[in-house]
Amino acid sequence: MAKIEKLEFAGQTVVIDPENLKFDEMTLTRYIQKESGFYDNFGAYLALAEKHLQQKETIFEKVYYERFVEAKESGGSDKLAEAKAKSDPTVVAFREEVTDAKYVVNRLKQHLRAWDKNHDNAQSLGHMIRKEMDKLHSDVMMRTYNIDRSEILGLDRAVSRTVGEWPKEPDRDD
């Protein structure tokens, strides 16, 4: 059973439900009709998640460099200032937020890839169904009208047997 996942970021909640990716011969048309809406929706959320990630990265870098400068001004070496900045609780918290934001972006990208792959699968299934229908229709026609598969003349004979001869009109002398 597929697991529903809720992604929360920037005051938004995105629900990823793998069940929406399922289709079969009976639901193919409905799936194709709805897939573009899902794709557009997840694409919009991805753009928002990327914006959110960039904002988090900017805040992280700002706080990190502030802590680095503070440590450097208090007489530490570059290595000591870097170590103090990286271990600062605020910097660590922002780094975790960046990591979470990266997960949301990557998860949305992977989900959109699944929709892309599924679109290809849906088209392939539709193509195979059409081929089967064409073949079945052809077989039914051949059997119903006893048409010889090797020549088109068989079709003419089948039509003649079904329709019969058209009565000839008597010659008129007008």
8 Å CB contact between 112 and 39: yes
As a whole number of angstroms, the distance between CA 111 and CA 39 comes to 9
Binning the chain into helix, strand and coil, the percentages to the nearest 5 are 75, 5, 20
Q: Which residue has the higher pLDDT, 4 or 170?
A: 4
Average pLDDT of the residues of the chain = 87
Q: What is the pLDDT of residues 21-65, one digit of tens each?
A: 999 989 998 999 999 999 999 999 999 999 999 999 999 999 999
- The secondary structure element, H or E, covering residue 36 is helix 28-73
Q: What is the pLDDT of residues 66-91, one digit of tens each?
A: 999 999 999 889 999 999 999 999 99
Residue 101 has pLDDT above 60, yes or no: yes
8 Å CB contact between 3 and 18: yes
Residue-level pLDDT at 135: 76
Q: Is 116 helix (H, G, I), strand (E, B) or coil?
A: helix
Residue 93 has pLDDT above 70, yes or no: yes
Residue 148 has pLDDT above 60, yes or no: no
